[in-house]
Structure 1
Amino acid sequence: MQHAAGDIGCQKQPGAIDQRKKLEQAGNLHWVHYLVVALSILLTLGAWYFSKQQVLQKVEQQFDREAQQTIELIKERMELYENALWGGVSLIDSNGSEISHQQWSAYANSLHIEKTYPGINGIGVIFNIQPHQLAAYLQKIRQSRPGYQIFPEHNKQEFWPVTYIEPERPNRKAVGLDMAFERNRYASIIKARDSGEAQLTGPITLVQDARQTPGFLFYTPFYLNARKPTTLAARQQYIKGVTYAPFIMSKLMQGTLAEHKRYVAVRITDNSEELYYDSQSDPEPMFKKKTIVPMYGRQWHFDIRSNLNFRQAVDNSQPNFILIGGLIIDSLLLGLFIFLSRANRTALFYADQMTAELETKTRNLEKSNRDLEEFSYVASHDLKSPLNAIKQLVGWLEEDCIEFLPDSSRGHLKLLKQRSERMMTLLNDLLAYARIGSQIYDNEDVNLREMSAEIFTFLDAPDGFSCSAPDISIKIARIPFDFVMRNLISNAIKHHDRATGKITVSYQKKTGFHQFRIQDDGPGIPPPLHKKAMEMFQTLRPRDQVEGSGMGLAMVNKFAEHQGGQLTIESDGGRGTGIVILWPMEKLLD
């Protein structure tokens, strides 16, 4: 083995040369590295594109929700106004198709129009007056409103004048306005009469709107004596009038949709005539949507576009972060390949240096091993021989002169004999410690109870001592394990401070390990001294009071570590000490 080690130190084996060539090749960048970087870049671009599409899809879905919500809000608001107008119809029906100005004013005030119906200009009543009814109608109305006039003149054969409208002050110009004078107003009121349903007019300009912006009227018909005619002829015959509400479109939209909360701009047209246009439109909207919504006899065209608020709200930098982060990772990956390549070359250079140093150390170690073997030979022959001679001389002196020596000399002779025996023990233990690890032992079947009993009997323990162990068979290296158990049981007896004692050997299987515990009931070892107790030549009591060399636990620890195990002392310094050994189940391979 030593010769082989010397050959390895002197020349490189063919396998080592091939391995070095592989390492040198691994130290260069190859097509595989560039392929990995290229694939990583492609994955980054793919993740960026996918993330961008996902974000766009989510943003488009959000736009669709905002657009639909805008339409639904307008429809809900119009239904709210419709309910208010039908409420007015119910009031008139309950009064026999007639209503006074005071009654209508009270009804309008109960609605709290400005708070409950934001965007509505007012709510009013229009009666249908035939030419033969005109004089009586004017006489009746002028009793409470002397200056009441119907305007403007027209060539229709009936009249539809605004009789009441509340609040009256902002709508004063509409009082007396005859809806028959203008095509959109008149066509829708006739449609409401004939259908019996609520109807909107086409785009108009309200007379009370000083800004002359687009608006419309909302009609709900009521019939004579609260009838609900089922035929067209009956509805035309029994029509009494309509409740109505005038709207300025911009006010309606402001009341319906608070612009600071909206993320879409809306343009509404009716028959190509613009009703409303949102000034907060984005010059280059992210999304557009056009839809037609039936609205009480009209077709409102909604052109909805995302506005600047929407652009800010959905601004998502995630795809860009993914792209930048991925490119950074790709750069780091390429840098890592370059770094590893250079590090590999540096490692090879350093390995060459270390190999040269290792070869030198190997040669020195071989020389040290030879010197240690020579020392072992000298210790076993040249040191033990004079030591045996000294012991023999001591024996002769004890036999020949013991009767003539004074008590003090007898004590010195006894001390010399004890020191010689301790020296021999120390020399034997030192040689045994040096040989640990020089041999490899095969695992054998060992019965733990039988081995413990055999060791206990061999040690010739005092009568007051006992040793127990479980009756189990284990596969373990017998010779080193026997040495370990012998030393630990011997220590438990030797270091006991009483005439009686109990030693317990226990066993557990751990993952991949045998665990043995040798527990005694003697004096404990204080925790600060646990480490010291496993060192060479250490005893916890004066040497003259303890038999042995002080190397037992150190040798046990070295045997356990050589086998790949571990020794642990468990004691709080009171009564009892537990020595726990972990011993691998499989034989350790060098």
Structure 2
Amino acid sequence: MMPSLEPSCKEQLEQLKKEFDEFAYIVSHDLKAPVRAVTNLSTWIEEDLGDDLAPDIKHNMDLLRSRASRLERMIEGLLTFSRSTRLELEVGLTDVSALLQEVKQSISPHITLHVPESICNVLTYKAKLREVLTHVLQNAVAFNDKAQPEIVVTLSEQEHMLLFSISDNGIGIPEEALQKVFTLFYTVAPKDSVDTIGTGLAISKKIVHFAGGTIEAAQNPLGGTTISFTWPKNISALPIL
């Protein structure tokens, strides 16, 4: 009987990893280089045209560089999204209260952040939980029109999970867009009017699902948005796919 020529599961996994590494290299090098070249060329052309540049040409050059900058950030966001469940997967005991304060300081020490006085420690992917909290808190600050952004974090213990609910007093999200905000590159406002590329919540959703949890967005009584997600209290390392 002839031996099977079908590749084993291990060989298939190795092939997938190889293809991913090739993809990551293309994204981080081959796609970024021409985008940067466009930015540089537009600057050189503007310099060659001299000081008597017509206002509409100056505007178009600035617009071109702005589009190129956005494209470069989108490429970087795509790379981050693709790597989000492959890197920094060390499992350790994590003080959630300290982690929240750490994330707050890294974003803005001036925001008002309300957290429970006592939060249980979790055995988890600390770097991944930090990444999710960072993206959610960054969104709460970025889309806030108040002089003093206020964020309220509540936690509920379930049998095997923690339920995080993070509410802000920002501008909120329309009802019809609540599910779309977890789509890669989606932004509620026109892309030219916001300084974001729409990757943070998409990355958060991917990480939360990888950890075995769920995530959703809702409107809240503060007038802003509540992002709720579940996270295992005791997690074991999962296979890297």
Give TM-score scaled by structure 2 length: 0.80
Q: Aligned partners of 1:10, 1:440: CA distance in 2, in Å?
A: 37
Judge conservation of contact 2:179–2:216 (CA < 8 Å) in 1: no
Structural mapping, 1:424-463, within 5 Å: 424-439=72-87, 441-460=89-108
CA distance in 2: counterparts of 1:556 and 1:386, whole angstroms: 29
CA change 1:398–1:519 in 2 (3 A) is farther
Structure 2 match to 1:267: none
Structure-2 residue corresponding to 1:466:
112
- Matched with 1:514 is 162
The correspondence of residues 352-371 of structure 1 with structure 2, limited to 5 A, is 367-371=15-19
Q: Please list, as runs of the form range in 1=range in 2, the aligned pairs for 1:285-296 lying within 5 A after superposition.
A: none
Q: Contact 1:436–1:559 at 8 Å: present in 2 too?
A: yes
Q: Indicate if the aligned counterparts of 1:568 and 1:579 stay in contact, CA closer than 8 A.
A: yes
Specify the alignment match of 1:587 in structure 2: 235
Report if the CA contact (8 A) 1:497-1:523 is conserved: yes
Cα RMSD after superposing both structures: 3.2
CA drift of 1:565 comes to 1.0
Q: Which amino acid in 1 is paired with 2:112?
A: S
> What are the Cα deviations for residues 507-558 of structure 1, in whole angstroms up to 9, with x where unaligned?
2322111221211111232343222221222111111112222222111001
- Matched-pair contact (CA < 8 Å) for 2:169–2:222: no
More divergent stretch after superposition (561-570 vs 363-372): 363-372
Whether the 8 Å contact between 1:517 and 1:581 is mirrored in structure 2 is yes
Match of residue 560 from structure 1:
208
- Identity over the aligned pairs, expressed in percent? 26
**Could you say which structure has the larger radius of gyration?**
1
The equivalent position to 2:177 in structure 1, one of 522, 529, 532, is 529
Q: Deviations over 1:214-247 (max 9, x none)?
A: xxxxxxxxxxxxxxxxxxxxxxxxxxxxxxxxxx
Q: Secondary structure at the match of 1:503?
A: strand
Give the partner amino acid of 1:406: A
Whole-angstrom distance in 2 between the partners of 1:452 and 1:516? 11
Preserved CA contact (<8 Å) 1:527 1:572: no
| Structure 2 residue matching 1:506: 3-state secondary structure | strand
Distance 1:545 1:583, change over 3 A: same
CA displacement at 1:561 relative to structure 2: 0.3
Provide Cα deviations, 1:111-153, integer angstroms capped at 9, x if missing partner: xxxxxxxxxxxxxxxxxxxxxxxxxxxxxxxxxxxxxxxxxxx
The equivalent of 2:143 in structure 1 is 495
- 1:132-171 matches, within 5 Å, as none
Whether the 8 Å contact between 1:514 and 1:583 is mirrored in structure 2 is yes
Residues 48-87 of structure 1: pairs in structure 2 closer than 5 A:
none
CA separation of 1:585 and 1:425: change in aligned 2, threshold 3 A: same
State the AA in 2 paired with 1:388.
Answer: R
Answer yes or no: is the 8 Å Cα contact 2:165–2:226 preserved in 1.
Answer: yes
Gap change, CA 1:410 and 1:457, over 3 Å in 2: farther
One-letter amino acid of the counterpart of residue 384, structure 1: K
Aligned to 1:276: none
Alpha carbons of structure 1 residues 449 and 416: separation in structure 2 relative to 1, 3 Å: farther
From the superposition, tell whether residues 390 and 453 of structure 1 become closer, same or farther in structure 2 (CA, over 3 Å).
farther
- Length, aligned pairs only: 234
> In the alignment, does 2:125 pair up with 1:477?
yes
- The answer to whether the 8 A contact 1:422-1:549 is kept is yes
Query: 2:209 corresponds to which letter in structure 1?
Result: E
Q: Is the CA contact (8 Å cut-off) linking 1:525 and 1:572 kept in structure 2?
A: no
Separation in 1, partners of 2:90, 2:17: 24
2:219 is aligned to: 571
Query: Which structure is higher in RCO with an 8 Å CA cutoff and minimum separation 6?
Result: 2
Structure 1: unaligned runs, 5 residues or longer: 1-8, 12-355
Asked if 2 retains the 8 angstrom alpha-carbon contact of 1:433 and 1:555, the reply is yes
User: 1:390 aligns to what?
Assistant: 38
Distance in 2 (CA, whole Å) between partners of 1:10 and 1:573 is: 62
Mark the runs of 5 or more structure 2 residues left unpaired by the alignment.
Answer: none
Query: Given the superposition, is the C-alpha separation of residues 496 and 477 from structure 1 closer, same or farther in structure 2, using an over 3 Å criterion?
Result: same
The answer to whether 1:422 aligns with 2:70 is yes
String of CA shifts for 1:152-192, please: whole Å, max 9, x gaps.
xxxxxxxxxxxxxxxxxxxxxxxxxxxxxxxxxxxxxxxxx
Partner deviation per Cα, 1:183-209 (whole Å, 9 max, x = no partner) = xxxxxxxxxxxxxxxxxxxxxxxxxxx
Of the three residues 384, 397, 406, the one matched with 2:54 is: 406
Shift, 1:580, TM fit: 0.9
Contact 1:469 1:506 in 2 (8 A): yes
Cα distance in 1, alignment partners of residues 125 and 57 from structure 2: 49
Letter in 2 for 1:583: W
Distance 1:10 1:494, change over 3 A: farther
Residues 560 and 566, structure 1, Cα contact 8 Å, conserved in 2: yes
